[in-house]
A and B are shown apart, each in its own frame.
Chain A
């Protein structure tokens, strides 16, 4: 076995970052700001936490570039899948009871 030596990352430092980001995530869902902003912030923080785990705990930062590319492929494919689903989703008309009641109300006024 060939031992590849690299300096030991600051594991506890990463742990504190993960903890702080988790607390921030929970706090932000109760913040009085727009839902879209909350969603964007939550996704940003989740991806940051996932990257910290991959880079430092899974030692991806110290691996060959090709291993990093292997790890990024699923993320790219997932983004691709979301873009492929978007045309269908944007054509959907919501049929919730509230939406239907609102539509009926609008028709009744005319």
Chain B
């Protein structure tokens, strides 16, 4: 038997450890990916600020966009972050049923968020908001709005798909009190999506 064949590679457990993230290299990889992704969002928001400052007839977003709806969407994402950390805490104690329950709640939060965003976009499009213009003022107001919230929405959709894959593995009993690294890495992504929305909500809707 070869040496490779004798190594006990349980699926989902990484054989190597990083000195920065002793749990796994995967966690460090996710942090590096999120740092790069944060720069994409940072660039979008900085461009939004610059374009808005340069425009003389930028509409007041809180007068045009539905603040109550998006405030509830913010609350929903914060709740889904809580269910995500609760799910991770559950599996760290070996509670597989708890992980599955909290993961399902987190995914549900993401799906409701996306549905509400689709509703919001439909409503705004019906009121004349287009990628190339809008009846409220500067044409770039709607361009930047759809780009920033759309880019974030894509991340939420990606997160829902990612967490669904984790949930499928959880139903197969892949995770345990000694094997939860993949759940933690997925949780990092989901919290990042929540963190970015906090900033998008403030800069695009409130300021």
B contact residues, total (Cβ < 8 Å): 58
Contacts of A54 in B (CB 8 A): 191, 195
Give the number of A-B contacts (CB < 8 Å): 132
Contact status A1-B23, CB under 8 Å = yes
In the bound assembly, the distance between CA atoms of A91 and B91 in angstroms comes to 56
Verify if B2 is at the interface (C-beta below 8 Å from A): no
Say yes or no: A74 contacts B203, CB within 8 Å: no
Cα A25 to Cα B20 in complex, Å, equals 36
Does B161 lie at the interface of the complex (its beta carbon under 8 Å from any beta carbon of A)?
no
Most chain B C-beta atoms within 10 Å of own C-beta, residue among A70, A74, A78: A74
Q: Establish whether residues A29 and B62, one from each chain, have CB atoms under 8 Å apart when the complex forms.
A: yes
Binding site secondary structure of chain B: helix
The secondary-structure label for the interface of chain A is helix
B67 contacts the other chain (Cβ, under 8 Å)?
Answer: yes
Query: B23 touching A97 by the CB < 8 A rule?
Result: no
Interface string of A56-97 (1 = CB under 8 A from B): 011000011011001101110110011001001100101111
The distance from the CB of A19 to the nearest CB of chain B, in whole angstroms, is: 7
Q: For residues 38 through 58 of chain B, which have their beta carbon under 8 Å from a beta carbon of chain A?
A: 38-39, 42-43, 45-46, 49-50, 53-57
Q: Which of A8, A22, A26, A78 contacts B46 (CB 8 A)?
A: A78
| Contact surface of B with A, Cβ cutoff 8 Å | 13-14, 17, 19-24, 28, 31-32, 34-36, 38-39, 42-43, 45-46, 49-50, 53-57, 62, 67, 71, 74-75, 78-79, 81-82, 84-86, 89, 92, 178-179, 181, 187-188, 191-192, 194-195, 198-199, 201-203, 206-207
**Using a CB–CB distance below 8 Å, which chain A residues touch chain B?**
1-4, 8, 11-12, 15, 18-19, 22, 25-26, 29, 38-39, 42-43, 45-46, 49-50, 53-54, 57-58, 63-64, 66-67, 70-71, 73-75, 77-78, 81-82, 85, 88-89, 92, 94-99
A42-B207, A78-B46 known; 6 new pairs, CB 8 Å cut-off, are: A2-B23, A25-B206, A29-B67, A39-B207, A53-B194, A67-B21
